[in-house]
Chains A and B, each alone.
Chain A
Amino acid sequence: MDQFTINLLFVGASFALYIGIAIWARAGSTSEFYAAGRGVHPVTNGMATAADWMSAASFISMAGLIAFTGYDNSTFLMGWTGGYVLLALLLAPYLRKFGKYTVSEFIGDRFYSPTARLVAVICLIIASVTYVIGQMTGVGVAFGRFLEVSSTTGLLIGAVIVFAYAVFGGMKGVTYTQVAQYVVLITAYTIPAVFISLQLTGNPIPGLGLFGDHTTSGEPLLVTLDALLRDLGFNEYTTHNGDTFNMVLFTLSLMIGTAGLPHVIMRFFTVPKVSDARWSAGWALVFIALLYLTAPAVGAMARLNITDMFWPNGANSEPVSLERIETDPRYDWMATWQKTGLLGWEDKNGDGRIAYFNDKNPEAVAKAQAAGWGDANELTKFNNDILVLANPEIANLPGWVIGLVAAGGLAAALSTAAGLLLAISSAVSHDLLKGQLTPNMSEKNELLSARIAMAVSIAVATYLGLNPPGFAAQTVALAFGLAAASIFPALMMGIFTKVNNKGAVAGMLAGLITTLVYIFLHKGWLFIPDTNSFTDADPLLGTIKSTSFGAVGAMINFAVAFTVSKMTAPIPREIEELVESVRIPRGAGAAQDH
């Protein structure tokens, strides 16, 4: 059976499973559509949250970013897990006690202001839609590669599938579908990592193998990797090379953004009790940690394997020959990935060898010239995002592992897209239409409008995914920055302080606008290329990159909110009582509709 058929089988079987579950768990009433009647067990909820949370960015992209940068990109590992501590301690139990369906509902009620609710809805929609666009683009690329169709066709297939289960299943369909997706995703991530860890270190647990000894050299794996990279003129894997201040701010932005993303927060509305909301955050992180503890091992081991491919006898020997790349089946993955345009090599000096080294390092260039390998790096392109998907092929693992990874990557992208679409549809139908424009809408019409909102968002995201304005990582950064700067501070102040309506609205707007402007100044207005005034290599404010600005936006939000609140009327008595009641678990019944 060829690889294409195997991929098709794995991807097809996993999709049949998700759709089957969505049909089986079709939602009936409004409360089931949003929150599955609050009948979801904390462990189940944690698993679904993990699938919801871990998108194409975590599954496909993150290990590649760590592999090619090393220690400095630990920010992703700490940032995308540390936010769960903030969620569990500062938000989840209180929002569950509040007992309504959506994040903006809490903001509207707590700040007794339709304006606050409207601003929150706008923040949620902007953050979620931008995030979905990134996921849809990811879906397109993954489908394109594994089903050997164009990324456009891949994206359209993906859009139909997301539409099918998100629109007809609602939250309940999504919850159980996401449990299935989590199982597919974690299996697909772990199995190749275990194989590779066994090959390199003899340890079946990749997270431990990372700090174990390399079987061939007998030295610790990281020492071997550091030495190999040093010999080729690259930065050592374990050293800190970037700017420390920016590293701290970026980590903080990812953490706060995690705790401010509506599709994650909404998960904690779906547990039966306040105490369950506390446990749920823990269980979610358990299931996320299974991937996040493996990811750094995947990164380091893949970097070692790739470098070894080009230097089969070590960095002080000969580079791999062009003939070997073309004829040895161990190198077949290179031809496959070359077709995507994400991998490229060129024998620039015509010596029949492909020399891979850092040609920006004068010492490494001098060494390569002396050895007669030329003065330029001949591995001309290696896109970080192909690393996880190409990893099983690079390590020469069996065809079924490659098919499994294809299914896992798609599960990660699709589950997050579905969760975000649900957040968008509830924001539009429940908060915008029923909450503001047409309060007397029937339950049936509310459900209908939720489904229409989903269909429209999928159409918009698919359209923008088809014509990506040149942003993938930027999209994710914008979504996180916006959530960090607007939603998280408002929720936190709503629970822990007596900030009033005007303070909250001013704070959210200040955080949202400053962050949006800072990102647009660096990435181009509405991401249109060449409209930017600054670059992240030389940012406007010191060393603060646009991706790290979310934390600054959040501080601006807090500062503005406190100042405005101090200068205006204090909160009324009944809101003070609301704050008191949210802080105490007692009396958290079933959720209330209007």
Chain B
Amino acid sequence: MTDHTSQSAQAAGKSDAGYWAANVRIILVSLVIWAICSFGFGILLRPMLSGISVGGTDLGFWFAQQGSILVFLALIFFYAWRMNKLDKEYGVDEE
């Protein structure tokens, strides 16, 4: 597909391979946060967070019941916004 890349983007040294590598980096960072907040703070690291109290219980309980869901939402919207920007930077968007 490289032959379809818009000329300005190519001139800036931006290739489809570069676009994909950037995308994979963003995905990896997002998934690390995804795992730390749910499996980490919500389950495995909960004992470490037991000192931080939230409304009658500890931070780990809050992450397991509500916090992780809020983080998931933030991650998806961040990814959509970041990728739509990346699409334009690399000239691979749909317009």
Do the two chains bind? yes
Which A residues are closer than 8 A to B by beta carbons?
Answer: 71, 74, 77-78, 81-82, 84-85, 88-90, 93, 207, 210-212, 219-224, 226, 238, 240, 244, 247-248, 251-252, 273-275, 278-279, 281-282, 285-286, 289, 292-293, 296, 496, 577, 580-581, 583-588
B30 shortest CB reach to chain A, Å = 6
Interface residues of B in 69-95 (CB under 8 A from A): 69-70, 72-73, 75-77, 79-80, 83-84, 87, 91-94
Pairs across A and B, CB under 8 Å, 8 listed: A220-B55, A285-B76, A296-B65, A296-B66, A583-B16, A585-B94, A586-B87, A587-B1
Decide: B80 and A275 in contact? CB cutoff 8 A: yes
Give Cα A412 to B94, complex, Å.
36
Decide: B72 and A85 in contact? CB cutoff 8 A: yes
- Write out the residue numbers on chain B whose beta carbons fall within 8 Å of the beta carbon of A212: 55
Decide: B93 and A586 in contact? CB cutoff 8 A: yes
Interface residues of B in 29-75 (CB under 8 A from A): 30-31, 34, 38-39, 42-44, 46, 54-58, 61-62, 64-66, 68-70, 72-73, 75
Residue of B nearest to A80 (CB): B69
Our pick among B39, B57, B92 for the contact of A251 (Cβ within 8 Å) is B39
Q: Do most interface residues of chain B lie in helix, strand or loop, or is the interface mixed?
A: helix
Our pick among B38, B55, B91, B94 for the contact of A82 (Cβ within 8 Å) is B38
- Write out the residue numbers on chain A whose beta carbons fall within 8 Å of the beta carbon of B55: 210-212, 220-222
Decide: A584 and B16 in contact? CB cutoff 8 A: yes
Decide: B80 and A278 in contact? CB cutoff 8 A: yes
Decide: A88 and B79 in contact? CB cutoff 8 A: yes
Contacts known (A74-B42, A89-B27, A293-B66); A282 close to B76, Cβ less than 8 A: yes
Additional pairs, 18, CB under 8 Å, beyond known A89-B79, A221-B56: A77-B64, A77-B69, A84-B76, A89-B30, A89-B31, A89-B76, A90-B27, A210-B55, A220-B55, A238-B56, A247-B43, A248-B44, A251-B38, A275-B93, A278-B84, A289-B69, A583-B19, A587-B1
Give Cα A10 to B47, complex, Å.
46
Decide: B73 and A82 in contact? CB cutoff 8 A: no
A323 shortest CB reach to chain B, Å = 35
B55 shortest CB reach to chain A, Å = 3
Residue of A nearest to B83 (CB): A278
B93 shortest CB reach to chain A, Å = 6
Decide: A82 and B34 in contact? CB cutoff 8 A: yes
Our pick among B39, B57, B73 for the contact of A238 (Cβ within 8 Å) is B57
Decide: A85 and B31 in contact? CB cutoff 8 A: yes
Give Cα A223 to B54, complex, Å.
11
Contacts known (A88-B79, A585-B93); A78 close to B69, Cβ less than 8 A: yes
